[in-house]
Structure 1
């Protein structure tokens, strides 16, 4: 299978970590979404990453869709079997993906507009959402049980993206999350290689 992805993308990172955890072999193809390469556009009309190209010619997107696809593969388990635990994992994944949406919105606002056109109230609004999420997760970090799940990988990717693009802006008020990420890396040493970078 081939994964169209980018090393800086938290969504790509989440999928790459899940694949490694499940021992799913992927050929990673780094793509620049701004260039609109045909390999991406022809397989995903949204032109977004990550996009998975299966061996039988199916294109699967987005990161949640890909991870759910992985979890349905024979002999693979990425989400809990218990309904209550599955709901927790799904909600955590959605929360972390939504937070990454806010972070990327801030990055693009700063990167794509000239300095005089950057709309600070928009950035402030997105950062307020990020801070609420971090506070919520910091108060009660998700447990790293016997098995990791899609929610854990989404959270690790989100925190990895914060380390990459917002270093020094979140750690002091969220020490429990800093410790959680250290514990996650002990459980999943490939994080150092697969985090956004």
Structure 2
């Protein structure tokens, strides 16, 4: 299978970590969404990453759909079978993806607007949402049991993206999450090579 992705995308990183954990072989193909390459737009009308191209010709997007595809492919390898625990993992993943949505909105506002047109109140609003999510996670760090879930990979990818784009702007207020990431890496050493990077 091929994964159209970017090394800077937390959603791509989440999917790549999950695939590695499950023993699913992926051919990661780096694409630049800004140029709209044919391999991407021909397989995803939104032109977004990650997009998974299966061996039988199917195209699966976005990251949540890919994660659930992996779970079905491995007969429940990524999400708990018990309904309550599965819901917890899915909510954790949704919260982390939502934080990333806010962080990307800030990144794009700064990157694609002329400096005099950057709207600081919009940035402040997104940062407030992101830090509220981080505060919730820090007060309730997800347990790292015998098995990792989609939620764990989403949180690791979110913290990696913060480290990439917002270094020294969040760590002081969220020490429990830094500790959590260190524990996660002990359970999943491949994190070092698969995390979100420039």
TM-score (norm 2): 0.98
Q: How do 1:168-183 and structure 2 match up within 5 A?
A: 168-183=168-183
Q: How do 1:153-164 and structure 2 match up within 5 A?
A: 153-164=153-164
Q: How do 1:100-115 and structure 2 match up within 5 A?
A: 100-115=100-115
What is the RMSD of the two structures over their aligned residues, measured on CA atoms?
A: 0.7
Q: Aligned-pair distance for 1:114? A: 1.1
Number of residue pairs the alignment of both structures matches: 197
1:103-154 CA distance string (max 9 Å, x none) = 0000000000111110000000000001100110001100001100000000
CA distance in structure 2 between the aligned counterparts of 1:164 and 1:186, rounded to whole angstroms: 20
1:28 — aligned with what?
Answer: 28
Please identify runs of 4+ aligned residues in structure 1 that moved more than 6 A. none
1:23-51 CA distance string (max 9 Å, x none) = 10001100000000010000000000000
1:63 and 2:78 correspond: no
CA distance in structure 2 between the aligned counterparts of 1:74 and 1:146, rounded to whole angstroms: 17
1:188 and 2:181 correspond: no
CA contact (8 A) 1:22 1:76 kept: no
Give the secondary structure class of the aligned counterpart of 1:49.
coil
CA contact (8 A) 2:164 2:196 kept: yes
CA contact (8 A) 2:22 2:74 kept: no
CA distance in structure 1 between the aligned counterparts of 2:19 and 2:150, rounded to whole angstroms: 10
Deviates more, 1:147-156 or 1:71-80: 71-80
1:152 — aligned with what?
Answer: 152
2:94 — aligned with what?
Answer: 94
CA distance in structure 1 between the aligned counterparts of 2:76 and 2:7, rounded to whole angstroms: 24
1:121 — aligned with what?
Answer: 121
Q: Aligned-pair distance for 1:192? A: 1.0
2:137 — aligned with what?
Answer: 137
User: Structure 1: any 5+ residue segments left out of the alignment?
Assistant: none
Q: Aligned-pair distance for 1:75? A: 4.7
